[in-house]
Amino acid sequence: MSARWSEDQWGESEQRSEFQKIRRKHSKPKGRRRIDDLTAKNTEDIADDTIRRLIDLGHLSEVVAELKSGKEATAYIARSDKGSVLLKIYRDFEARSFKNDAIYREGQVVLDQRAARAMKSRSSKGLEMLQFDWVMSEYAHLWHLWRAGLSVPEPLVGPNVKTYAETVPAVLMRLIGTEDQPAPRLSDARLSPEEARSAWQQAVGGMADMLRLGYAHGDYSTYNLLWWENQVILIDFPQLTTRQNPNFRDLLRRDAESLATSFKRHGIQETGESTLREVQRRALGPAPEPRVVLP
Ligand SMILES: Nc1ncnc2c1ncn2[C@@H]1O[C@H](COP(=O)(O)OP(=O)(O)OP(=O)(O)O)[C@@H](O)[C@H]1O
Ligand SMILES: [Mg+2]
């Protein structure tokens, strides 16, 4: 459906058939899941079909607790044989407080005309496609940023697109922090003046790293930055946009603005304008060391 995650890897008909498979698996719109429905002694007794599927596929061994319920997804702490997992389960588009995604989608090439029409019409099938596309985009972006060496959580399914398509509407990534003490967001962390300066530098650096790759985050602020062992970790990537998007510059400016505003509580006094200039300057500098990912 979207060119963001389908490049070279998937033909249109394959995308559609994968989408149909997932579609059959959950027909009733789901909002926030109750933790009781996600846990049970025996896998077959778990009420939630997404969780049963993730366990059957070997991506998950158990869900431990709910961490946080956000606007469009709920984050859970879970486990797998790779360690502690942050399981982000998106609500169905119909069931979530509607987020205007049009601004992020502009300029995006949708190769599949049937899918493009369905998504535009916002019929229930169209909304399901948008949902699928949104979740797949978060994986694709996570993989891209992770491989490029940015400070983001490691995606735990993939990099093969077909593999991570099987986990929709969930995204599995490494939990930052520990199960008992997950990393706080920078919006909640208490920082000394020195820590605040370091966090600010890292946050500006993170935005510059993304810009160097041609991305604007689209929701960049201390609410989407984690703080763990003096490191800033960037999260929440479904809405990244590229220069193809006519709103790119506006989104970039808005990101710089919200970053500066959200850092005021840590005693950092910068304007959106000075922040954007610094981001642009640093984007011309050296990139982080890429990570090698074995297939
Ligand atoms: N890898 C991670 N490790 C630890 N905690 C995480 C991780 N990813 C996300 N979180 C936590 O889960 C919350 C929700 O994640 P995220 O921001 O991606 O989803 P969201 O639905 O957009 O939430 P919101 O509406 O609050 O922005 C984050 O605010 C953070 O507290
Ligand atoms: Mg968020």
Using one digit for the tens of pLDDT, what is the confidence trace for 22-71? 665 555 667 778 888 898 888 888 889 999 999 999 999 999 999 999 87
Ligand nearest to the CA of 97: 1
**CA neighbours within 13 Å on the CB side: how many for 7?**
9
Ligand 1 lined by 172 (C-beta under 6 Å): no
pLDDT class of 82 with cuts at 50, 70, 90: very high
Cβ–Cβ < 8 Å for 101, 134: yes
Closest ligand 1 atom, CA of 224? Answer: 17
- Answer yes or no: do 62 and 158 share one domain: yes
Q: To the nearest 10°, the Cα dihedral for 174, 16, 25, 92? A: 60
Q: Residues with Cβ < 8 Å from 133, sequence gap 6 or more?
A: 1, 2, 5, 119
Query: How far, in Å, is the centroid of ligand 1 from the Cα of 11?
Result: 31
Which residues, including other chains, have CB under 8 Å from residue 100's CB and lie 6 or more apart? Answer: none
Q: Domain span at residue 233?
A: 193-283
152 lines ligand 1 (CB under 6 A): no
Which of 122, 142, 174 represents a domain boundary (last residue)? 174
**DSSP character for 172?**
E
Per-residue pLDDT band for 10 (boundaries 50, 70, 90) equals low
Query: Which stretches of 7-106 are DSSP H helices?
Result: 12-25, 35-38, 49-56, 102-105
pLDDT value, residue 150: 98
Q: What is the pTM (predicted TM-score) of this model?
A: 0.91
Residue 223 forms part of a structural domain: yes
Tens digits of residue pLDDT in 95-143: 665 456 777 777 776 767 777 787 777 788 888 888 898 899 999 999 9
Is there a single domain that holds both residue 207 and residue 148?
no
What is the percent of the chain where pLDDT is above 90?
A: 66
Segment 201-256, tens digit of pLDDT = 999 999 999 999 999 999 999 999 999 999 999 999 989 999 999 999 999 999 99
In what helix (H) or strand (E) does residue 203 lie, and over which residues does it extend?
helix 193-212
E runs forming strands in the chain:
62-69, 73-80, 83-90, 170-174, 215-216, 225-228, 231-234, 241-242
Structurally, the chain folds into a number of domains equal to 2
Q: Could you tell me the two tokens for 255?
A: 């990101």
Q: Is there a single domain that holds both residue 45 and residue 158? A: yes
**Per-residue confidence (pLDDT) for residue 194, from 0 to 100:** 98
